[in-house]
Amino acid sequence: MDKKLQDAMNEQVTAEYQAALLYRQLAYTMEAQSFPGFASWFAEQAQEECDHAEKFATHLIDRGHDVTLHTVALDAPSIDSPLAAFQAALEHERKVSAMIRNIAGIADEVKDFDSRSLITWFLDEQISEEATVSEIVDQLTLVGNDGSGLLRLDSGLGQRNDSSN
């Protein structure tokens, strides 16, 4: 594997763990604001991000390369509502999508065909992730500060059954 691609994948492993910390922080924040369904959704998302990190790590190891974790920093956003939490999540998903597209570009540049299936899976996953979070942002925007609407959304997201990772 080309060193440039290996480095980008190692950075992605760290970025996925960073995403997990962000989602865990958002879960704690939603729990503190008495939204257990939103908290549960973010907690499941945190676990999914750890699984994503493992996919990249396994790929590197299977190809005979070391996994090098870098410092995982978290700039916890100030969150005062479920809408703000999901807007922060959407912003982060867009950042992750850009990183994965960068990895795809590097793989194409260095003709690393063995990474194609992994990268394609992640590109598809990011389309789904962004669409899901964007839809939740739209729904939260629609209900605004309507308490019953927020509680219905909270309840619905608390019943998330995700097996996509």
11 is in an annotated binding site: no
For residue 161, name the pLDDT band (cuts at 50, 70, 90).
Answer: low
State which amino acid sits at residue 99: M
* Residue-range domain boundaries for the chain: 3-158
Kindly report, residue by residue over 50-99, the tens digit of the pLDDT.
999 999 999 999 999 999 998 888 777 789 999 999 999 999 999 999 99
User: What pLDDT is attached to residue 165?
Assistant: 46
Asked if pLDDT for residue 163 goes beyond 70, the answer is: no
Q: Indicate the CATH number of 3-158 among 1.10.357.10, 1.20.1260.10, 1.25.40.10, 1.10.10.10.
A: 1.20.1260.10
Q: Is 93 annotated as a binding residue?
A: yes
Length of the chain: 165
pTM for the complete prediction? 0.90
pLDDT of residue 49: 96
Query: For residue 89, what are the contacts with CB-CB under 8 A and spacing of at least 6?
Result: 22, 23, 26, 42, 45, 133
Q: 162 or 39, which is more confident?
A: 39
Share the mean pLDDT of the chain.
94
In the predicted structure, residue 5 carries a pLDDT above the cut 90: yes
Residue 70 labelled as part of a binding site: no
Q: Is 52 annotated as belonging to a binding site?
A: yes
71 Ramachandran zone, left/alpha/beta (phi>0; psi -120 to 50): beta
Residues 30-64 have pLDDT tens digits of 999 999 999 999 999 999 999 999 999 999 999 99
Mean pLDDT of 142-156: 93
